[in-house]
Chains A and B, each alone.
Chain A
Amino acid sequence: MTASIGRRSAEWLPALGVLVAMIGLWEGLVKALHVKRFLLPAPDAIWRAFASNQSLLWRAGWWTFQEAFGGFAIGCIAGILLAVVVARFDLLGHALMPYAIAANAVPIVAFAPITNAWFNPLDKSSKMAIAAVLCFFPVFVNVVRGLRSVKPQQLELMRSYAVGELTVFRLVRVPTALPYLFTALRVASVLAMIGAIVGEYYGGSLDSLGANIEQDASLFQFERAWAEIVIACIFGIGFYLAVAAAERFATRWQPRIETSGS
């Protein structure tokens, strides 16, 4: 918190340097080696494609983001609710957790054609459905773990105050589970974007990002395809950062640990 501006810039300057160097190197290599444009377009060509299709690109990105966010909300809320019930009853936990862990090992995005068949593939709901299923499992598993990771002495203290289970839940279990929840939410934000875009590969409205990327790639419109990927990155990173900001706010009492975890 007391870090001076000088120290802060020392932290992000190397990253900025790498970004500039990478783009420069990319541009330079493409130009110098005369790499054919269908292999890898140069950054300036991508930028031109980006600039000339801006409104269309943002609209497609917004469309896909809405699907991802809708699925995220549905999947996370369902995961949290079920976790609260499961954490309360041990038997239910023993019964369901192995399935949840197995489900985490399943390539769930491969089920996107099924949700496309369930709902109208041109409709946002089909992508929300697959995104919701993708988000559900990590959130469920992590929240159950979080609610259960309360230390026994904290429960003894609460017992010494003779308070009910609801109070213990509110005062102890929920705050303990918050960091676990947010770890899962960050993962879920990424999964939701992946779910929406892959769902669109398997058939989606041409107003969406995934369908556009697929079409442009197969038509060898690589500059446009890369521009669309840039948009996907912007929405993906924005989504992630929004969740990370919410995490910072909700767990602002926590000591901050550096990214490297050292």
Chain B
Amino acid sequence: MSVVEIQGVSKEFKGGTVALQDIDLQIEQGEFVSLIGPSGCGKSTLLRVIGDLIEPSRGAVTVNGKSARQARQDHDYGIVFQDAVLYNWRTVAKNVALPLELAGWSRERRQARVEEMLDLVELRGFADHHPWQLSGGMQQRVSIARALSFDPALLLMDEPFGALDEMTRERMNAELLRIWEASKSTVVFVTHSIAEAVFLSTRIVVMSVRPGRISKVIPVDLAQPRGTATREEPRFFELATEVREALHLGGHVEVPA
């Protein structure tokens, strides 16, 4: 059974903009799938359709074999946005514990889990800090810890590192791979950085603009585990070139900031 199954999904917004047209996509357990494409190709919309934050105009989405709505209500996925979206009035530990609180976990279980998660994202000493006391990269790590805290089968990430500088971004990429391997979850990752997509993914879904549709799916066969050396392999450049060419065919390429 696929973790995510998308069949014939289209989305038109009020005013007639076609954000998505006839999307078919299956994502299997343990995959790391990146959605890449120019602005306006609907990659973020597709992510939100999977998470039932936006309803599709046509087509069906199932997550873990359930309707997207049911999956959302069952807390089957965690989500990370471009901004960390932390609550400034809560400490780091309480931000991570938020979904657990909402799911009715006991205080002891929450505490144990939060410690575990902060270890995972290497923020152990910052439990009692407030979000504004952390750097952008650290905030995003808190947000990832929060998304993973209730052990969801699926992790949805909407350009989570888009606002970070290149060096922090590469470090976070490596970190994310480590977390992904440790948590054995499935990841759907929206980005507009080619290097990021190639480095992270097991599969890259290239999307084109107006209307938003899938123009190419590229499997990434780089060896696991990946590290700094991976970025210097010839295969890395071949794959990056393949993605770049696919993007060119589907429209203009957006230069990453």
Contact = CB atoms under 8 A, between A and B. Distances in A.
Interface in A136-188: 151, 153-154, 156-157, 159-163, 167, 171-172, 175, 178
Most chain A CB inside 10 Å of its own CB: which residue of B51, B53, B85: B85
B53 A156 contact: yes
A2 interface: no
Cβ-closest 10 pairs across A and B: A253-B89, A162-B73, A175-B89, A160-B79, A153-B85, A162-B72, A161-B102, A153-B81, A255-B132, A156-B53
B90 A253 contact: yes
A159 B87 CA distance: 15
A163 B102 contact: yes
B152 to A, nearest CB: 10
Nearest to B80: A157
A218 interface: no
Interface in A170-218: 171-172, 175, 178
B77 A167 contact: no
Interface size bracket, B side: 20 to 34
Contact of B72 (A160, A171, A254): A160
Interface of B: 48, 51, 53, 72-73, 75, 77-79, 81, 83, 85, 87-91, 98-99, 102, 130, 132
Contact of B102 (A151, A156, A167, A175): A167
Nearest to A161: B102
A162 B103 CA distance: 10
Nearest to A151: B85
A251 B75 contact: no
Contact of B81 (A157, A175, A254): A157
Contacts of A254: 88-89
Q: Is the interface of A mostly helix, strand, loop or mixed?
A: helix
Nearest to A162: B73
Contacts of B130: 253, 255
Contact of A153 (B83, B91, B98, B132): B83
Nearest to B72: A162
5 contacts: A153-B81, A156-B81, A162-B73, A253-B90, A254-B88
Most chain B CB inside 10 Å of its own CB: which residue of A156, A160, A161: A160
Most chain B CB inside 10 Å of its own CB: which residue of A151, A156, A254: A156
A114 to B, nearest CB: 41
B89 A162 contact: no
B85 A160 contact: no
B90 to A, nearest CB: 7
Nearest to B81: A153
A175 B87 contact: yes
A90 B227 CA distance: 51
Contacts of A154: 85, 87
B98 A171 contact: yes
A130 to B, nearest CB: 35
A157 B79 contact: yes
B89 A251 contact: yes
Nearest to A172: B87
A253 B88 contact: yes
Contacts of B77: 160
A187 B81 CA distance: 37
A253 B89 CA distance: 5
A251 B88 CA distance: 10
B53 A160 contact: yes
Contacts of B98: 161, 171
B128 to A, nearest CB: 11
Contacts of B48: 156
A226 B192 CA distance: 69
